[in-house]
């Protein structure tokens, strides 16, 4: 059909090319046929940071940033957060459908079976300095799992892949909790397999001398919801790294470590820390209008506001706000909340923010909630990495099963020198006059 064909006229040659449209996209490889002569390489796409390039087809997560919609496998995030546990959602993200009772039981058993770390991995963690950053410890330890499970490199063996997926999802909370306790100088707490995924994580974080840890159900549910909200977010920076490293058929542990490294950057997983810093800087409610004026005049950004994709209220921010309220009922209100609420109210009524479609994003309230739970800002990204491991693995598996995917290898536009000859040492640095 003509309306599914893009017609390109090359004004250099006056040649006309029909480029098929495919799901509102063109395959940029089709541009290669646009040439000035048979030896010409053909036209390439140039898109640093993939602003308008789809790197894959995926059926996992759908985002409509203008409408503020986020769905996993077609299910709205609001319904999943309200009605499901994190492991139910993990099953959905990984396998495409919500589990039956039987399937969930088996899945939970499989994950629970793999929560322990080998003692040598525990010793590996002990080797970090007392003040090591938890995210550096997390990344290194996830990579180190590759040495424990060398068979994980058989990435095209489906049952092997499934086993490694269970291992990694089972072990990331244990690694995360160990990094937390290491910083405090407390002994490590072994997993308690009577508890749910989130409750066990809380036990490994906070159990002291008591024989059995009894997690507060309100806190456990709030953390579970937070995990659901962070499970996947389509082709973000760390997911793109997971797919890219995995495309070389590296094993899932080193691929996930690379993805976690991408997450550790302040432009990706670290924005909620910045929100806390900003709220500290503002200090009191009466200083908010002056702060907003300074942002509008170009001095810094309102942290936790704005998003590359969402040009509406980030649906996760709304749910986090609700979950934070639940947590505050247990911990008492974080005094920063008052400032955050007032900041949001004033910003959402301000022409500057309305015009630019700047709304609170997922990071605006999550840091305040984590802080009320007793976490230091250094732990925030590790808390993000636990649930996102599910998304990374689902996307990795989808990539490996996609017949169109090959090793990732972008093109470049070379801007360096033409060929030149190596000068002897005593002639280097001499500027040769042109002409």
Q: Which is nearer to ligand COA, 355 or 406 (CB)?
A: 355
In the three-class reduction of DSSP (H, G, I as helix; E, B as strand; rest coil), residue 261 is classed as helix
Q: Which is nearer to ligand COA, 183 or 269 (CB)?
A: 269
66 in active site: no
Q: Which of 232, 251, 314, 363 is catalytic?
A: 363
Q: Which is nearer to ligand COA, 106 or 308 (CB)?
A: 308
Q: Which is nearer to ligand COA, 63 or 168 (CB)?
A: 63
Give the chain's length: 435
Distance of CA 113 to the CA centre of its chain: 26
363 in active site: yes
In angstroms, give the least distance from the CB of 100 to ligand COA.
35
For residues 323, 329, 331, 335, the Cα torsion angle rounded to the nearest 10 degrees is 80
Q: Which is nearer to ligand COA, 334 or 361 (CB)?
A: 361
Q: Which is nearer to ligand COA, 232 or 363 (CB)?
A: 363
Q: Which of 268, 325, 350, 402 is catalytic?
A: 268
Q: Which of 114, 182, 230, 307 is catalytic?
A: 307
In angstroms, give the least distance from the CB of 292 to ligand COA.
9
Long-range contacts of 116-119 (CB under 8 A, 24+ apart): 116/171, 116/174, 116/190, 116/191, 117/171, 117/174, 117/175, 117/178, 118/148
Q: Which is nearer to ligand COA, 304 or 315 (CB)?
A: 304
156 in active site: no
In angstroms, give the least distance from the CB of 320 to ligand COA.
12
In angstroms, give the least distance from the CB of 26 to ligand COA.
24
CA distances to 24, 107, 160, 211, 390 from 166, rounded to whole Å, are: 36, 8, 10, 28, 10
In angstroms, give the least distance from the CB of 310 to ligand COA.
8
Helices (H), 149-287: 158-184, 197-206, 217-229, 237-246, 252-263, 271-282
C-alpha to C-alpha distance for 309 and 321, rounded to whole angstroms:
20
The DSSP call for residue 235 is S
Residues forming the site for ligand COA (CB under 6 A)? 271, 295, 301-308, 356, 358, 361-363
Single out the residue of 67, 93, 91, 392 nearest to residue 236, CA to CA: 392
In angstroms, give the least distance from the CB of 339 to ligand COA.
16
In angstroms, give the least distance from the CB of 361 to ligand COA.
4
Q: Which is nearer to ligand COA, 153 or 357 (CB)?
A: 357
Token digits for 175?
Answer: 């690694």
CB-closest chain residue to ligand COA: 306
In angstroms, give the least distance from the CB of 316 to ligand COA.
9
Active site (catalytic) residues: 268, 307, 363
């Amino acid at each position: 059909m003509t309306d599914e064909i893009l017609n390109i006229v090359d004004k250099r040659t006056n040649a006309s090319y029909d480029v098929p449209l495919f799901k509102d996209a063109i395959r940029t490889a089709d541009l290669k046929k646009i040439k000035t002569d048979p030896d010409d390489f053909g036209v390439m796409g140039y898109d640093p940071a993939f602003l308008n390039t789809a790197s894959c087809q995926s059926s996992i997560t759908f985002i409509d940033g203008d409408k503020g919609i986020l769905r996993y496998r077609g299910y709205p995030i609001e319904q999943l957060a309200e009605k499901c546990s994190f492991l139910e959602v993990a099953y959905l993200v990984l396998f495409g459908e919500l589990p039956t009772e039987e399937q969930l039981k088996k899945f939970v058993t499989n994950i629970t079976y793999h929560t322990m770390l080998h003692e040598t991995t525990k010793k590996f963690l002990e080797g970090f300095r007392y003040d090591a950053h938890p995210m550096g410890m997390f990344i290194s330890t996830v990579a180190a799992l590759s040495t424990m499970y060398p068979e994980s490199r058989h990435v095209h063996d489906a049952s092997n892949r499934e086993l490694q997926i269970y291992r990694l999802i089972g072990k990331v909370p244990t690694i995360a909790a160990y990094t937390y306790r290491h910083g405090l100088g407390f002994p490590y707490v072994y997993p308690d397999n009577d508890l749910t995924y989130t409750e066990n994580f809380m036990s490994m974080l906070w159990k002291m001398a008591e024989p059995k840890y009894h997690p507060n159900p309100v806190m456990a549910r709030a953390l579970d919801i937070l995990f659901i909200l962070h499970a996947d977010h389509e082709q973000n920076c760390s997911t793109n790294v997971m797919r890219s490293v995995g495309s070389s058929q590296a094993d899932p542990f080193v691929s996930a470590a690379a993805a976690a490294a991408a997450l550790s950057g302040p432009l990706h997983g670290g924005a909620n820390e910045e929100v806390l810093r900003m709220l500290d800087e503002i200090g009191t409610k009466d200083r908010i209008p002056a702060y907003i004026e300074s942002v509008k005049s170009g001095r810094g950004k309102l942290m936790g506001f704005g998003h590359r994709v969402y040009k509406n209220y980030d649906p996760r921010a709304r749910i986090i706000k609700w979950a934070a309220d639940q947590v505050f009922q247990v911990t008492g209100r974080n005094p920063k909340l008052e400032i955050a609420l007032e900041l949001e109210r004033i910003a959402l009524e301000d022409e500057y923010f309305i015009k630019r479609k700047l709304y609170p994003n997922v990071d605006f309230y999550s840091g305040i909630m984590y802080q009320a739970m007793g976490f230091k800002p250094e732990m925030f990204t590790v808390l993000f990495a636990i649930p996102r491991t599910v998304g990374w693995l689902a996307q990795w598996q989808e990539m490996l099963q996609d017949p169109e995917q090959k090793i990732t290898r972008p093109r470049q536009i070379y801007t360096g020198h033409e060929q030149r000859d190596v000068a002897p040492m005593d002639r280097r640095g001499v500027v040769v006059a042109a002409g």
